[in-house]
Amino acid sequence: MSGTLEVVRRRLAAAGLSRSVAGLGIGQGLSAAGASMVVPLMASLITGLHSPLVPATVVGIAVSNELLVGVFFSTLGAVRSICQIPFGRLSDRFGVRNSLLEIGFAVSSATVLGYGFVGTVGGLLSLRVLQGIALAAATPALMALVDSLTTTDNRGGGMSAISTLRTLGWGVGPVLGGALADQFGLRSAFACGALLVGGSVLLIRLAVPTVNPGRSSGKSESDDGGLRPQFTSSRQARTLIGVAVAVSVLMMGISAIVSLEETIVGRLGGSKTGFGIVFAIPTITRLLVQFPVGRWTDRYSRPPMILGGLLASVPLVAATGLVHTLGAFVLVRGLQGATVAAVVAPGYALAADVADEAHSGEQLAFVTTASSVGFALGPLVSGVLAPAGFFAPFLAIAALSLASVVVVWRLVGAGSIPSLRDCVELLHG
């Protein structure tokens, strides 16, 4: 074990990453694994509870179990989206990034455990709201810490390392959660998830030094206390908005399958483990290519990679609605994971490049909020459109993805198009 850790340490050092960034990344990975164990269990949680809303019609929309699963999943993202920018502003103003990160993960651990003991839809939604607030506190603090602990020369690699380890957590969590639920029941999965998230708090406390940004201690003239971040230039605003559009639309395509869990489980012979694999497989391919992509964009240009990944996602999202077997899901979703790698880490690094030193927590929270919004909207879109057929939600999101390519190109620009030699260097790491 010590030999493995030493190999990891040497590889991180060779990549220009410090012990602190490695600690943040591994802590984020543990937290992601624990929290994502809930994903393949959502349909079982909802269908196991009686709700007077099913079946019913609200403002012309049929309320189905698929829609309730979408609402349950999306509640966290909605709350997280509302709260992230204020928490980012708080971390900038008072220099409490480490504390916000640790408290956020600790509260998230408690909510994961609580899912196994509540017996009403209202109780589940309350825990979901609380977890959304907790993660809203942790996410911008973590991004700002990475920004503080890296430089322009290694920031892409640092963001990729964090995103890669979070991706690994999201890859392991759903499969582990589904397997534990199949073998030992739901509560065992929730207990394991809570333990993993709780472990991330201890790791971060031990490995990451307290960073005092020494930044703004009072209100700036442009700070209205609302949810709008402070932009200090037109270029900065266009870049941050463009990255936000890219990651939000991309995450819609990834999360849309959540509300369709019962249909997918039926196609896979009733296995929650199988659904966990389908949900997690994009993280595997993302894990394989994300770090070299981040380092490559440190050397060359970030916008071409972002635009290329977003464009490639369009046919893959549409194809997800046409497959029926585990092998086909693995192929399509696996390729979709590669498009996530091409967009997210370069996108976050590009946002960090243009963020102000005094407001990085708040401004980076704008981008992570967009990711949360997209992840929340995906299940809602699929839940609403599910009555029109399994293919309908994916077709709608694919069309939106295509439109977003033009929007992002206009806002961010195309950057420097890489040469064939540059592409070969990427493939060879």
- Is 129 inside any structural domain? yes
Q: Is the pLDDT of residue 222 over 50?
A: no
**Residue 424 confidence class, pLDDT cut points 50, 70, 90:** low
Tell me the average pLDDT of the chain: 81
pTM confidence score: 0.70
- Quote the number of domains for the chain: 1
User: Domain span at residue 38?
Assistant: 15-209+230-427
Q: Does some domain include residue 87?
A: yes
CATH number for the domain that contains residue 404:
1.20.1250.20
What confidence score (pLDDT) does residue 190 get? 93
Question: Contact at 8 Å (CB) between 265 and 274?
Answer: yes
Residue 42 lies inside a defined structural domain of this protein: yes
Confidence of residue 216 (pLDDT cuts 50, 70, 90): very low
Q: Specify if 348 maps to a domain.
A: yes
User: Read out DSSP for 249-281?
Assistant: HHHHHHHGGGGGHHHHHHHTTS-HHHHHHHHHH
49-58, 61-70, 190-199, 286-295, range with greatest mean pLDDT: 190-199
For residue 2, tell me if it sits in a domain: no
Give the burial class of 419: count Cβ atoms within 10 A of its Cβ; 0-12 exposed, 13-18 middle, 19 or more buried.
exposed
What average pLDDT does the segment 383-412 reach?
Answer: 93
**Region of residue 95 (left: phi > 0; alpha: psi -120 to 50; beta: else):** left
Name the residue among 241, 334, 338 with its Cα closest to residue 293.
338
What does the pLDDT read at residue 159? Answer: 73
Comparison of pLDDT for 401 and 64, the residue scoring more? 401
Q: Mind listing the pLDDT tens digit for each residue in 343-395?
A: 988 888 888 888 776 667 677 778 878 888 898 899 989 988 988 899 999 99
Give the residue, 200 or 165, on which the prediction is more confident: 200
